[in-house]
């Protein structure tokens, strides 16, 4: 299965959203989040997510407005190889099930 750039972007945004929700629900209030998608990080940091057509981006915007310390930064994919491998592996496993 080949994913287009739009699908990959949406998957990254969805992963970030679910991770942030989980952290909030578990009571974490000081969070450092790293993402290898520079465009996604930029959209969130400059505040363009609040009026995005993507539900995931709007939801991320709402979450980061809550009362917690959150730092979001871009990390090059080469520095994120293990997480990238795990994400691809999880996708393969979910397609087999």
Kindly state whether residue 39 falls inside one of the protein's structural domains: yes
Closest CA to 43 of 83, 51, 87, 5: 51
Contacts of 28 (CB under 8 A, 6+ apart): 68
Report residue 52's pLDDT band, with 50, 70 and 90 as the boundaries: confident
33, 20 Cβ separation under 8 angstroms: yes
43, 10 Cβ separation under 8 angstroms: no
pLDDT of residue 89: 77
Higher pLDDT: 87 or 40? It is: 40
Kindly state whether residue 19 falls inside one of the protein's structural domains: yes
Number of domains in the chain: 1
Quick check: 97 pLDDT over 60?
no
Kindly state whether residue 92 falls inside one of the protein's structural domains: no
Kindly state whether residue 95 falls inside one of the protein's structural domains: no
Rg over CA atoms, the chain: 14
Q: Give the domain range for residue 39.
A: 5-87
């Amino acid at each position: 299965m080949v994913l287009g750039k739009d699908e990959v972007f949406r998957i990254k945004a969805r992963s970030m959203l679910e991770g942030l929700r989980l952290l909030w629900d578990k009571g974490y209030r000081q969070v450092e989040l790293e993402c290898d998608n520079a465009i996604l990080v930029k959209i969130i940091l400059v505040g363009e997510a609040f009026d995005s057509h993507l539900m995931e981006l709007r939801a991320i915007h709402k979450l980061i407005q809550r009362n917690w310390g959150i730092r979001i930064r871009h990390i090059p994919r080469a520095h994120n190889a293990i997480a990238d491998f795990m994400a691809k592996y999880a996708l393969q496993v979910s397609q087999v099930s």
